[in-house]
């Protein structure tokens, strides 16, 4: 018995001495954009922990990115444009198939869109979120959001984003979504300015219904296809719907990037590889209600999920839509001035 006890002590000592100490992976992410079940499985499998810090707008995210060296983030969720731009500045670590072999399940064109500094995560569309118990008939055009019925005054939500805020008016005007044409942008500005007196908030709708005392006054909002399920979950009712307007829309692609300063490079790479296991990618997609970029996960999705047109829009909608383009600095400056002027106009009313 004594020998057996000594043997157990020796095994425990060897385990303590030679096993890797637990690490914590810090992720900067949108809220409700990573399945709790997925993180729990990773933590159980590896013995490491995952902690998330949430942002609710790309402006806030980019502010945090600008001070990234002051924080201990390891991974960040960014759009495909930001992955390329900030990666080229040396902020993110380059990623390869050799490091993350499960990225082989992701089509090459998706990997190219995120570039060498991003691992494709989810994709979807920009559209209109609306409450089916308040808005009838359902919206079908960007005009329904920009020039709403009188009963919707004070019940509209818009995004504050130099690209996405301009999508509804430019699509309605049948202009390219990345247009830098001064006349097109001026017409878009006038539409947004006129709409501003009807707007309840320019805050991200998920944040608004979660924290505002006027959450029940939001009936229709600009938002993303993955937002619908989270808004229903937060409101405690299944009345939120999502639709892509007939004029088409912007297609978004999100990527995960590893900060170059992260002390947990190997663990971050292990996590990205774990996320791209087909069964994990499928679970994560169904839990977050977003379309996976992992093709091998598609056959593992439930029939109900695959047939959800808000997650997987029709080919005709996709043909009339565009992947969010990279804008030149002058175009971005003009758009930032437009959104700032619209918000100021709204505040003075």
pLDDT digits (tens, 9 = 90+) for 200-232: 999 999 999 999 999 999 999 999 999 999 899
pLDDT for the residue 20: 62
Question: Cα separation of 59 and 285, whole Å?
Answer: 25
Q: Which CB contacts under 8 angstroms, 24+ apart, belong to 84-89? A: 84/114, 84/115, 84/117, 84/118, 84/326, 85/326, 86/117, 86/257, 87/115, 87/116, 87/117, 87/118, 87/257, 88/117
Confidence tier at 3 by pLDDT (50, 70, 90): very low
Confidence tier at 289 by pLDDT (50, 70, 90): very high
* pLDDT tops 60 at residue 67: yes
Contact between residue 204 and residue 159 where contact means Cβ atoms under 8 Å apart: yes
List, in sequence order, every residue forming a beta bridge with 257; answer none if it has no partner: 76
What is the tens place of the pLDDT at every residue in 102-149? 999 999 999 999 999 999 999 999 999 999 999 999 999 999 999 999
User: What sign does the dihedral 140-146-147-152 (CA atoms) show?
Assistant: positive
Does pTM surpass 0.95? no
CATH superfamily of this structure's domain 21-123+252-306: Periplasmic binding protein-like II (3.40.190.10)
Torsion angle, CA of 172/223/111/95, rounded to 10 degrees? 140
Domain boundaries, the chain: 21-123+252-306, 124-250+323-347
What's the mean per-residue pLDDT of the chain?
A: 92
- List all residues 6 or more positions away from 30 whose beta carbon is below 8 Å from its beta carbon: 54, 55, 56, 77
- List all residues 6 or more positions away from 57 whose beta carbon is below 8 Å from its beta carbon: 159, 160, 161, 203, 204
Q: How many CB atoms lie within 10 A of CB 69?
A: 11
Question: Cα separation of 62 and 52, whole Å?
Answer: 16
What is the tens place of the pLDDT at every residue in 142-195? 999 999 999 999 999 999 999 999 999 999 999 999 999 999 999 999 999 999
Contact between residue 138 and residue 241 where contact means Cβ atoms under 8 Å apart: yes
Q: How many CB atoms lie within 10 A of CB 44?
A: 8
Q: Is 179 left (phi over 0), alpha (psi -120 to 50) or beta?
A: beta
Name the fold adopted by 124-250+323-347.
D-Maltodextrin-Binding Protein; domain 2 (3.40.190)
What is the tens place of the pLDDT at every residue in 260-273? 999 999 999 999 99
Confidence tier at 13 by pLDDT (50, 70, 90): very low
Question: Cα separation of 250 and 166, whole Å?
Answer: 10
pLDDT for the residue 266: 98
pLDDT for the residue 237: 87
Question: Cα separation of 145 and 246, whole Å?
Answer: 13
pLDDT for the residue 235: 86
Question: Cα separation of 234 and 308, whole Å?
Answer: 20
* pLDDT tops 60 at residue 275: yes
Question: Cα separation of 137 and 258, whole Å?
Answer: 44
- List all residues 6 or more positions away from 183 whose beta carbon is below 8 Å from its beta carbon: none
Question: Cα separation of 264 and 25, whole Å?
Answer: 7
Q: Which two tokens stand for residue 50?
A: 């995952």
Percent of the chain scoring above 90 in pLDDT: 85
Q: Which two tokens stand for residue 67?
A: 């001070």
Percent of the chain scoring above 70 in pLDDT: 94
* pLDDT tops 70 at residue 288: yes
Confidence tier at 18 by pLDDT (50, 70, 90): very low
């Amino acid at each position: 018995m004594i020998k057996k006890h000594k043997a157990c002590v020796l095994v425990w000592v060897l385990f303590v001495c030679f096993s890797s100490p637990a690490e914590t992976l810090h992720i900067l992410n949108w809220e409700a954009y990573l399945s709790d079940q997925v993180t729990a499985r990773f933590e159980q499998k590896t013995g490491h922990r995952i902690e998330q810090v949430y942002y609710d707008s790309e402006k806030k995210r980019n502010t945090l990115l600008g001070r990234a060296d002051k924080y201990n983030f390891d991974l960040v969720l960014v759009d495909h444009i930001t992955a390329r731009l900030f990666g080229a500045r040396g902020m993110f670590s380059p990623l390869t198939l050799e490091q993350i072999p499960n990225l082989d399940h992701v089509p090459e064109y998706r990997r190219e869109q995120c570039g060498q500094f991003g691992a494709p995560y989810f994709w979807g569309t920009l559209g209109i979120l609306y409450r089916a118990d308040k808005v009838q008939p359902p919206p079908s055009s960007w005009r329904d959001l920009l020039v709403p019925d009188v009963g919707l005054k004070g019940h509209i939500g818009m995004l504050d984003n130099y690209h996405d805020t301009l999508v509804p008016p430019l699509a309605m005007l049948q202009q390219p979504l990345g247009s830098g044409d001064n006349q097109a942008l001026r017409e878009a500005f006038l539409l947004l300015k006129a709409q501003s007196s009807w707007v309840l908030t320019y805050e991200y709708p998920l944040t608004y219904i979660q924290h505002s005392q006027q959450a029940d006054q939001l009936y229709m909002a600009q938002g993303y296809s993955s937002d619908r399920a989270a808004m229903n979950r937060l409101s405690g009712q299944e009345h939120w719907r999502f639709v892509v307007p007939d004029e088409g829309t912007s297609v978004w692609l999100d990527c995960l990037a590893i900060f170059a300063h992260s002390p947990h490079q190997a663990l971050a790479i292990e996590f990205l590889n774990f996320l791209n296991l087909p069964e994990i990618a499928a679970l994560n997609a169904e839990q977050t209600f977003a379309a996976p970029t992992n093709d091998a996960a598609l056959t593992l999705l439930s029939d109900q999920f695959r047939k959800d047109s808000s997650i997987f829009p029709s080919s005709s909608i996709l043909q009339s839509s565009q992947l969010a383009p990279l804008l030149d600095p002058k175009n971005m400056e003009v758009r930032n001035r437009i959104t700032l002027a619209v918000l100021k106009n709204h505040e003075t009313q």
